[in-house]
Amino acid sequence: MGKVMIMNHPLIQHKIGIIRRKETGTRDFRALVGEIAMLECYESMRDLELQDVEIDTPIAHMTAKELKGKKMAIVPILRAGLGMVDGILTLIPAAKVGHIGLYRDPETLKPVEYYCKLPQDCAEREIFVVDPMCATGGSAIDAITQLKAHGCRHNYRRRRG
């Protein structure tokens, strides 16, 4: 299991406070969720590896940095995680998007999958599972189980709002 990151940046806290207000409308709520996801994405990707690449600028040849390793994919847990996708795509627009649909069985209280559509090459990607809700963690565990069943091994990160 990866490390837990507490997102206590003042801008994140400020925006969470706004979305909790009863007078915040739907349009503003959606925009703020996207902004919060973007800020969380920025913080959570702080440890991604970089590699040196040789490039030509208009002035000279130089060594620049670029992300090293796997391509990325965003997999929201439906439906609540959908609101986080656009904010993350703002930072990593080349990421593929998959979807995992889960609901909680009212009798067993266990998550039940009703939909799973992942990028064909998901096993080759670093997967970011996004969900703004986390109570027991059952949905996150089931989503990661689905990723493993589709060949993804140790290349997922969970983000929540």
User: Residues 112-129: pLDDT tens digits?
Assistant: 889 999 998 888 888 888
- Distance (Å, whole) CA 66 – CA 49: 9
- Distance (Å, whole) CA 147 – CA 155: 9
**Residue 125, exposed/middle/buried by CB under 10 A (0-12, 13-18, 19+)?**
buried
- Distance (Å, whole) CA 84 – CA 76: 8
Query: Are 160 and 2 contacting, i.e. CB atoms less than 8 angstroms apart?
Result: no
pLDDT band at residue 1, thresholds of 50, 70 and 90?
very low
Q: And the tokens for 74?
A: 């965003």
Number of other residues whose CB lies within 10 A of the CB of residue 160? 18
User: Residues 83-103: pLDDT tens digits?
Assistant: 899 999 999 999 999 999 988
User: pLDDT value at position 108?
Assistant: 87
User: Residues 9-20: pLDDT tens digits?
Assistant: 899 999 999 999
Task: Please tell me the number of Cα atoms within 13 Å of 103 on its side-chain side.
Answer: 5
- The candidate with the shortest Cα–Cα distance to 115, out of 104, 105, 102, 106, is 102
Which whole-number Å values give the CA distances from 49 to 45, 46, 69, 102, 141, in the listed order?
A: 9, 9, 7, 32, 26
Pairing mode, strands 156-159 and 125-130:
parallel
Query: Are 150 and 118 contacting, i.e. CB atoms less than 8 angstroms apart?
Result: yes
User: pLDDT value at position 29?
Assistant: 92
- The candidate with the shortest Cα–Cα distance to 101, out of 114, 111, 110, is 114
